[in-house]
Amino acid sequence: MSAAGPVPPIGDADLAAYTDGRLLPERAAAVEAWLALPENAGERARMERWRRQDSALRAAFDPILSEPVPPRLEAVLGTTAPRRGRRLRWLVPATIAAAIGIAVGLGGGRVLWSPQPALARELADVGMSAHAVYSREVRHAVEVGVDDEAHLVSWLSNRLDTPIEPPDLSARGLTLLGGRLVPDEGRPAAQLMYEDANGQRYSLLIARTDEPATTAMAYAWVPDICAFYWVEGTVGYVFAGPENRSHVEELSRAVLEQLG
C-alpha cells in the first residue's frame, strides 16, 4: 500500500479506537497501513497485547452474567416503588409482622399480644428510613453527641414532650453516640444512635402517637436493615440495625427492659 498524500498523525486515541473497532473505515485503513511499517513493529505488538488482554478480561468477567441474581437485588425492584417521591415505602406484610410479633411478644405482661395497628407499622417505616439515612453518616451521625448527654436528654424530652432516657446498651457492646430530631409526619421524633465495636450502627427511634395503645414487639425488614417496633401508651419505639435478626431482636429486648 502506498501512502496517498499526508496522513494525519496517528496517536494513542486512534490506536484505542482501532482496537475497539470504532474508527471510520478510511482512518482504520490508515492505522493499519501505519502499523504495517517495519519501524512500527513495536506498536503492532502492543496492539496484539491489547487485544489478547481484552479477550482475557471478557473471559474473566462474563461468567458473572450467568450467576443467579441475589434475591435482595430483585427485591429492590419490587419493594421500593416511590410514594409521591418523598419517602420509600417499606413492604412489611402485616401477617408476618403479626406472627413474629406474637412469637417475640415477651415482656412481663406489659405487652399485649395484639396484631400491630397500621400506625405502628408506619412508625417502623419512619424508624427504618431514618436509620437508613443517618446510620451511614460517619461524621454527622448525630446532632448532639453523648459528650453533652444532659443537654441531649433535656432537648429531646422537651421536643417530644415526654421524658427520654437513652437506654444504656454498653453491657451488649453498644456505645451511645448521641441523638437527633427526625421528622415523623410533620412532628418531631427522636433518634438515638449507637455503635458497636465493629462500627456497626444501631438506632432507636422514639415517637409520639396520637392514641394510646400497647402492642407486641414486631419485626420489620427492608434490604440491609431490620427492626423491631412496639408501642407503649402514647410512645412508639423502633429499634433498627443491620440485617441480623436474632441480634437486633436481642438488643430490642434489652431496650424494652430498660424502658420499663
Could you say whether residue 22 binds other proteins (CB under 8 A)? Answer: yes
Torsion of CA 71, 74, 75, 77, to 10 degrees: 180
Q: Which residues contact 48 (CB under 8 A, 6 or more apart)?
A: none
Could you say whether residue 198 binds other proteins (CB under 8 A)? Answer: no
> Could you say which residues in the range 66-85 bind other proteins, by CB under 8 A?
66-67, 69-70, 72-74, 76-78, 80-82, 85
CA within 13 Å, CB half, 72: 6
124: left (phi over 0), alpha (psi -120 to 50) or beta: alpha
> Could you say which residues in the range 214-243 bind other proteins, by CB under 8 A?
223-224
Out of 1, 4, 24, 65, point to the residue binding other proteins (CB under 8 A).
65
CA 50 to chain centre: 38
Q: Which stretch binds other proteins (CB under 8 A): 52-60, 99-107, 158-166, 249-257?
A: 52-60
Read off the C-alpha cell for 41. 513493529
Q: Which stretch binds other proteins (CB under 8 A): 42-50, 100-108, 174-182, 194-202?
A: 42-50
Q: Which amino acid, one-letter code, is at 130?
A: A
Residues that bind other proteins (CB under 8 A): 9-13, 15-17, 19-20, 22, 34, 42-43, 46, 49-50, 53-54, 56-67, 69-70, 72-74, 76-78, 80-82, 85, 88, 138, 223-224
